[in-house]
Amino acid sequence: MPVTKPQHFDIVIAGGGMAGSLLAWCLLRARPELRLALIERQASERQGGDKQSAEQAQRPQPASFDSRSIALAAGSVSLLKRWGLWQSLAANACPLQQIWVSDRGHFGKTRLTAAEYQQAALGQVLEVEYLGNLLSAKLAEQANLSYFQPDFITAITPAIESQTVQLNSGTVLSSSLLIIAEGGLSQSRQLAGFKVSSDDYQQSAVIANLALAQPHNNTAFERFTEHGPIALLPLTGQRYSLVWTVARDAAEGLLALDEPQFTAAVQQAFGYRAGLFTGAGARAQYPLLLRRPDEIVRHRTALLGNSLHNLHPIAGQGFNLAIRDIQAMLLALDDTSEPGSYQMLRTYQQLREQDIKRVIWFTDALVRGFSNNSRLVALARNAGLAAMLLCDPLKRPLAMQAMGRGQSYAKY
């Protein structure tokens, strides 16, 4: 039986979702001479990257009640501007001008506003379909990008100067650098030899878009309940994006409710601080775990996005971390760096490890602190929230993290 000769690329990206596609665009924009391959398990309407598909992806898409949304810190928006993308996204984003944080049934609360920090917005909320459509259109025009879709990696064989990957289709690829950006349940990460620790919060997130009877005034809410936080992010068109954390066994029951029943359940759980909810779009749920690989890089391999840090959605840090991963990869892969070299991978690791550790600690502490029913813990957390409301220096670190103006973005 003849041996299949591998197709060689400078970089192979495993995972063509939001993080992988954004990474591909940024790499080709920074170093257009690189030959890239993108492997994606899910089939796509873009199959083949023809001109018609690109034109369709560029057309304005109607706002939907059923879209997932991301909260982008102001620092992330600045990077998207630098990468030539935000100019095409801004019209469909909703500026985030204030955030209310409260603990239901307790006295503690605090508020962050853009005005008190002389900012136009704390961040922006964007439905992911707009970024996805834009990236599909831009990547369809790239001659140095090859798609392998639907396909996935079934084996990884290291060599001194490359990684060779076998795909489910039988195709064999080799690359100087393999970047794994598949998500929290990455199979390729396991094949590459990364060990992963996991903490199960015994919670699920229920997501949906909600219609409002009144304007939201660009206000977001993070409200902590005895079962977990309820986050409301403002969207265009008088809507909120809901992320409702509930006990694992309660999620299926919420998905089984009809629309009026679900809307009423959200209203009862959250209260009327955000106004009257008049409807809800399609719902989905996913279990909440904290997954942490033991390494950021291995031989000619790097992790990125949720494959590198799979967090609780509290405080909306996940995709902002992925954006900083991408910028760190661009810095590590400067004009003089060889993809996959020891020095390049070491630079990427050094740029990312402290930021990731800090955000994991921050989000995990919030989850555990606000899911604790101890009276002493409740008193301490509410005293902290009340103190932040009264004393600006105490809440400034939280505001800087929300805006992406603090230590996290300083090196980028």
> In b/e form, how buried is each residue of 109-124, taking b as 16+ CB within 10 angstroms?
bbebebeebebebbbb
| Number of domains observed in the structure of the chain | 2
Q: What angle do CA 248, 249, 255 make, to 5 degrees?
A: 95
Across residues 84-89, what is the average pLDDT? 97
Same domain, 119 and 216: yes
Whether pLDDT at 19 is above 90: yes
Same domain, 353 and 237: no
State the CATH number of the domain containing residue 52.
3.50.50.60
162 assigned to some structural domain: yes
Q: Which residue has the tokens 């409740």?
A: 378
Q: Where does 120-181 show beta strands of DSSP type E?
A: 123-127, 145-148, 153-159, 162-167, 172-180
Same domain, 328 and 296: yes
Would you state the pLDDT for residue 66? 53
Same domain, 299 and 326: yes
The radius of gyration of the chain from alpha carbons, rounded to an integer in Å, stands at: 22
405 assigned to some structural domain: no
State the Cα–Cα distance between residues 65 and 99, nearest whole angstrom. 22
State pLDDT tens for residues 315-374: 678 899 999 999 999 999 987 789 999 999 999 999 999 999 988 887 777 776 555 454
Across residues 123-137, what is the average pLDDT? 94
pLDDT band at 386 (very low <50, low <70, confident <90, very high): very low
Average per-residue pLDDT in the chain?
Answer: 84
138 assigned to some structural domain: yes
How many Cβ atoms from other residues are within 10 Å of residue 295's Cβ? 16
pLDDT band at 110 (very low <50, low <70, confident <90, very high): confident
Same domain, 216 and 339: no
More confident: 63 or 314: 314
Same domain, 216 and 356: no
State the Cα–Cα distance between residues 181 and 14, nearest whole angstrom. 6
Same domain, 250 and 323: no
377 assigned to some structural domain: no
State pLDDT tens for residues 304-313: 999 999 987 7
State the CATH number of the domain containing residue 275.
3.30.9.10
The model's pTM: 0.86
Counting residues of the chain whose pLDDT is more than 90, the rounded percentage is 61
Domain end, chosen from 321, 338, 360, is at: 360
Whether pLDDT at 142 is above 60: yes
Across residues 60-81, what is the average pLDDT? 76
Q: How far is CA 342 from CA 37, 301, 338, 339, 345, in A?
A: 21, 10, 9, 9, 5
Would you state the pLDDT for residue 404? 59
State pLDDT tens for residues 91-108: 999 999 998 887 655 445
| Domain span including residue 226 | 69-127+203-288
Domain end, chosen from 321, 341, 360, is at: 360
Same domain, 26 and 59: yes
State pLDDT tens for residues 183-236: 899 999 999 999 999 989 888 999 999 999 999 999 999 887 777 789 999 999
Same domain, 158 and 304: yes
355 assigned to some structural domain: yes
Would you state the pLDDT for residue 365? 72
371 assigned to some structural domain: no
pLDDT band at 143 (very low <50, low <70, confident <90, very high): very high
Same domain, 190 and 332: yes
Whether pLDDT at 3 is above 90: no
Would you state the pLDDT for residue 55? 37
Q: What is the 3-state secondary structure (H, E, C) of 89-136?
A: CHHHCEEECEEEEEECCCCCEEEEECHHHCCCCCEEEEEHHHHHHHHH
- Is residue 260 reached through a cis peptide bond, with omega within 30 degrees of 0 on the bond before it? no
Q: How many residues does the chain have?
A: 412
HSE (CB half, 13 Å, CA atoms) of 23? Answer: 34
Question: Which residues have a Cβ under 8 Å from the Cβ of 336 and sit 6 or more positions away?
Answer: none
Q: Classify residue 275 as left (phi > 0), alpha (psi -120 to 50) or beta.
A: left
Domain end, chosen from 239, 260, 288, is at: 288
Same domain, 148 and 266: no
Same domain, 136 and 58: yes
Across residues 272-298, what is the average pLDDT? 93
Across residues 151-178, what is the average pLDDT? 96
